[in-house]
Amino acid sequence: MIVIIGTDVVLDLLLKREPFAEAAARLISRAEKGDIDGFMCATTVTNIYYFMAKAAGAARARREIGKLLMFLDVAPVTRAVIESAFQDKYDDFEDGVIAEAAHSVGARAIATRNIRNYKGSKVRAYLPSETLEMLDAGGAPLE
């Protein structure tokens, strides 16, 4: 099952943002173990670099992204993804790009703490804890 890990969730892990870091670590470890096909949107990678470099330096940002790229794939941001994200169905353009990139790679879920920003998404957004519940239930979507 393909799961897009949202920028906020990756930053929760890397910056140890409480109380969210534990759920982020558990979810990302599922990708590391191969339980899911974990993806980040290409824009997530650049955003993570920006915030990590600001908080902990460029060298650490590169190291952390390098570690993530060992087991998370990258959903490309193409012209079609951007054009779809520009449609009026998204209040937040950045999250629209993630949603459309998720759809383009066949994701079944977007793991994020900002689920309200994905109302117009073809791929349903779940909180990290809900994503973990769904995985524990065999990958069936939660109702």
Query: For the chain, which domains are there?
Result: 2-136 (3.40.50.1010)
Q: What is the pLDDT of residue 19?
A: 94
Low-confidence ranges of the chain (pLDDT < 50): 143
**Coil, helix or strand at residue 126:** strand
Q: What is the pLDDT of residue 41?
A: 97
DSSP 6: P
Beta strand pairing status for 109-111 and 2-5?
parallel
Q: What is the pLDDT of residue 21?
A: 95
CA distance 100 to 23: 24
Q: What is the pLDDT of residue 113?
A: 96
Q: What is the pLDDT of residue 140?
A: 58
Q: What is the pLDDT of residue 139?
A: 66
Provide DSSP, the chain.
-EEEEPHHHHHHHHTT-TTTHHHHHHHHHHHHHTSSEEEEEHHHHHHHHHHHHHHH-HHHHHHHHHHHTTT-EEE---HHHHHHHTSTT-SSHHHHHHHHHHHHTT-SEEE-S-GGGGTT-SS-EE-HHHHHHHHHTTSPPP-
